[in-house]
Amino acid sequence: MSAKIYRDAWGIPHLRAENAAELAFLQGRNAAVDRAWQIEVDRHRSQGTTAAFLGADALAWDRFARQARLDDTARRCFRSLDESTASWIERYVDGVNAGLADGARRAPQFAATGLAPGRWQPWTPLSLWLTTHVLFAGFPTKLWREEVARALGDAATELFATDGPGTSGSNGWLVTGERTVTGAPLIAGDPHRFIEDPGIYQQIQLSCPEFDVVGLAVPGVPGIPHFGHTGSVAWAITNAMADYQDLYRERLRRRRPAAGLGPEVEALGPDGWRPATVHTETITVAGATPVEIEVIETDRGPVVIGGPDEAVAISLRIPPRVTGDLGFGALPALLRARTVADVDRAFDGWAEPVNVVQAADTRGGLLHRVAGRVPLRHRDNRLRVVPAWEPGHEWRGWYEPLPREAVDGVAVMANQRGLAAPLGVEFAPPHRAERIRQLLDKPHALTAKDMAAVHMDTLLASARPLLELLAELDGLSEEAALLRDRLTVWDRRMDAASTDASVYADLRSAVVRRLAAHPALEALAGKSGPAAYPEVFLPWLALVPRVAFALEGLLTTGALPEIDRTAVVREAVEEVAAADRTPTAWGQTHRLAPWQALPATPHEMWPALSGDHDCVLSTSSVPGVDDRCVRGPAARYVWDLARREDSLWVVPLGASGVPGDEHHRDQLPLWLRGELVPVITDWNQLTEERDDF
């Protein structure tokens, strides 16, 4: 059997090879051919070289990537891998390099930008992974808490904690065999990420004599790290919302360099002044002058904000930089897993990001645990930027053992406070988790197809505080009273066709804007933070989005007594009523808006969406700013442990990353309707590609 690629009716690649090494090569080559533009953009992002072909708009990211030393950290992590895993990754990279030229010829973005495909290094997949997830734990939120403390006092540090991040995370649930028609478990869910074109997840099958796995791969990374089914065991993850990255306020000073040496920088730590490493790098910018930056690293970590000549200097400390380990040794182990115990052992070696894991096998094994590295340190490290020179903020080992719990009937993971509570500060509101449990609490046994109704639920439980304030209002104008009465009986479903949902969204946005404009929050308005805060962190420092996602808490908290919430809602409902516009459906403004490194059609009209950020169908926009959806289900899956071929999946766009390809967006209509396509594992139902590798 030579290495071959097969396709199903949706263009999903099914890869078959004689051994694991050749399969890794084939997976790399397939990623390069199907997703060349996507993975090359990601490679340049990891290196901090995107401005060279995307222009000045990409400069802020390039500066951060270099100063955070992302590629160097990946190189360090690769060097620490065991020989077998390193060799496996190298074969994947060989495949990428073998396929990039063919992939680039298919992707028009290369010609449009003048970008030539480059050459991948053995550590490039690790660099892509780190780049994709370095902001995942939201360490810039600590900058926001600093601004809140500065403006409103230390007691207000957690005022804007929504018990949730600014953008909701993912859903996942495990139903045991006692609750299913087949008597075997079901695992289902949908990871919520920024929706990208092409998508971050690639449906794939990887088969060789050692293993046969279907799942969602990340183009540019070997194996199937997050969601997979080997036939006898399946697994899935959500973000645990753990806090495992720290920011340190540094005191830096320059010293006269020794003869023949470059500039010297020292940083003040608990034991006094110690030398920092420092060098300069030049960022090429298309259509502009190159930019020279200084890259400094203290004993805590790389300096990502400011420097020795600026008022502020802040370093970033992350586990992979400290340990030289990203957890990639788990990837080949997961492919070979046969039981829940195998999956559990594989995730014992996981590092970044910290996830909640669920798994089930055909022998009755069940798993619900946290996986990853979380440092032990002072609680202030989790909340704020801490002073590097004060003792007590050092890392003191790792949180062990990580939390786990038994599965009884149903287990739900939706980023809520619960299993991972000891590891984090802010979690998602409980609404999605509670609603999923409610939807699964049926008198009849469940099937894989039943899961689609859970994926698509649009009930918005977080609307309750605003609607309760609205219902209590009297003395309104006739138009505002009609609006109040209309929303009082609204079913709270954010359906694309619902005009009531649209009216509610207008009211919510008006309330958000008025709260953000209140004198009590004036000190947080505008461009928060010192001028030294780089552009890449500004989304975490914008007041209106912060108010929007903390709205439920801000309407019910006893803090900020100077804000009359009832008056704010009264003014907002009068504002919306006075607009006197013809009600439109929620989907008219709540439309998909995928991120594209190089938008092919800037004015393209994307389709209408149901859902909202606190619905199970979590399609996140930014109330008060824009109704367009930038974050939502980046895939949906149902793993059936009775028969793998009864499993289901779908992605927002399609299997191909090539614009104009028949499979570039052919799954979009199904994704919009909540439909899933079958997971095909019968090779007789697949079509072999002509190329033979």
- In this prediction, residue 495 carries a pLDDT of 98
Could you identify the residue written with the tokens 């360099």?
Answer: 257
- In this prediction, residue 580 carries a pLDDT of 74
Per-residue pLDDT at 45 exceeds 70: yes
- In this prediction, residue 357 carries a pLDDT of 98
Residue scoring higher pLDDT (607 or 260):
607
Residue scoring higher pLDDT (163 or 348):
348
Sign, CA torsion 301/537/245/392: positive
How far is 679 from 686, CA to CA, in rounded Å?
11
- In this prediction, residue 28 carries a pLDDT of 98
**Model confidence at 168, in pLDDT bands (50, 70, 90)?**
low
Assess if residue 186 is contained within a domain: no
Assess if residue 659 is contained within a domain: no
Assess if residue 516 is contained within a domain: yes
Domain end marker among 274, 301, 321: 321
Domain that holds residue 530: 459-492+499-584
Domain count, the chain: 2
Assess if residue 74 is contained within a domain: no
Q: What is the DSSP string of 462-516?
A: GGHHHHHHHHT--S--HHHHHHHHHHHT---B--TT-HHHHHHHHHHHHHHHHHH
Span 165-192, average pLDDT: 89
Q: Which helix (H) or strand (E) holds 297?
A: strand 291-297
Q: What is the pLDDT of residues 78-105, one digit of tens each?
A: 999 999 999 999 999 999 999 999 999 9
Per-residue pLDDT at 473 exceeds 80: yes
- In this prediction, residue 165 carries a pLDDT of 42
* Percent of the chain scoring above 90 in pLDDT: 90
Domain CATH code at residue 551? 1.10.1400
Q: How many Cβ atoms from other residues are within 10 Å of residue 14's Cβ? A: 26
Average pLDDT score over the chain? 94
Residue 368 phi, psi dihedral angles, 5° rounding: -145, 105
Per-residue pLDDT at 590 exceeds 90: yes
- In this prediction, residue 258 carries a pLDDT of 64
Span 520-545, average pLDDT: 82
Q: Which helix (H) or strand (E) holds 223?
A: none
Q: What is the DSSP string of 422-446?
A: GG-S--B-THHHHHHHHHH--SS-B
Write down the H helix ranges in 108-179. Answer: 108-113, 124-133, 141-152
Span 199-206, average pLDDT: 97
- In this prediction, residue 691 carries a pLDDT of 64
Per-residue pLDDT at 166 exceeds 70: no
- In this prediction, residue 256 carries a pLDDT of 74
Q: What is the pLDDT of residues 646-688, one digit of tens each?
A: 999 999 999 999 999 999 999 999 999 999 999 999 999 999 9
**Model confidence at 571, in pLDDT bands (50, 70, 90)?**
very high
CA distance readout (Å), 61 to 50, 129, 366: 8, 16, 41
Domain end marker among 276, 297, 321: 321
- In this prediction, residue 526 carries a pLDDT of 65
Assess if residue 573 is contained within a domain: yes
Per-residue pLDDT at 519 exceeds 80: yes
Structure tokens at 346: 């594989």
Residue scoring higher pLDDT (419 or 526):
419
- In this prediction, residue 583 carries a pLDDT of 82
Q: 306 by DSSP, 3-state: which?
A: strand
Side chain identity, residue 456 = M
- In this prediction, residue 605 carries a pLDDT of 85
Contact 629, 610 (CB under 8 A): no
Per-residue pLDDT at 305 exceeds 70: yes
Q: What is the pLDDT of residues 360-379, one digit of tens each?
A: 999 999 999 999 999 999 99
Q: What is the pLDDT of residues 502-518, one digit of tens each?
A: 999 999 999 999 999 99
Span 278-282, average pLDDT: 97
- In this prediction, residue 692 carries a pLDDT of 46
Q: How many helices (H) and strands (E) does the chain have?
A: 22, 26
**Model confidence at 233, in pLDDT bands (50, 70, 90)?**
very high
Per-residue pLDDT at 234 exceeds 60: yes
Q: What is the pLDDT of residues 398-446, one digit of tens each?
A: 999 999 999 999 999 999 999 999 999 999 999 999 999 999 999 999 9
Per-residue pLDDT at 599 exceeds 80: no
Assess if residue 558 is contained within a domain: yes
Assess if residue 307 is contained within a domain: yes
Contact 615, 455 (CB under 8 A): no
Domain end marker among 300, 321, 342: 321
Write down the H helix ranges in 524-658. Answer: 543-549, 551-554, 565-579, 586-589
Assess if residue 450 is contained within a domain: no
Structure tokens at 132: 């994709």
Contact 301, 316 (CB under 8 A): yes
Write down the H helix ranges in 524-564. Answer: 543-549, 551-554
- In this prediction, residue 603 carries a pLDDT of 67
Per-residue pLDDT at 259 exceeds 60: no
- In this prediction, residue 230 carries a pLDDT of 98
Contact 4, 689 (CB under 8 A): yes
- Label each residue of 384-420 as H, E or C: CCEECCCCCCCCCCECCCCCECCCCCEEEECCECCCC
Structure tokens at 375: 């440092």
- In this prediction, residue 527 carries a pLDDT of 53
CB neighbour list of residue 571: distance below 8 Å, 6 or more residues apart: 510, 514
- In this prediction, residue 9 carries a pLDDT of 97
For the entire predicted model, the pTM comes to: 0.95
Domain CATH code at residue 296? 2.30.120.10
* Percent of the chain scoring above 70 in pLDDT: 96
How far is 27 from 35, CA to CA, in rounded Å?
11
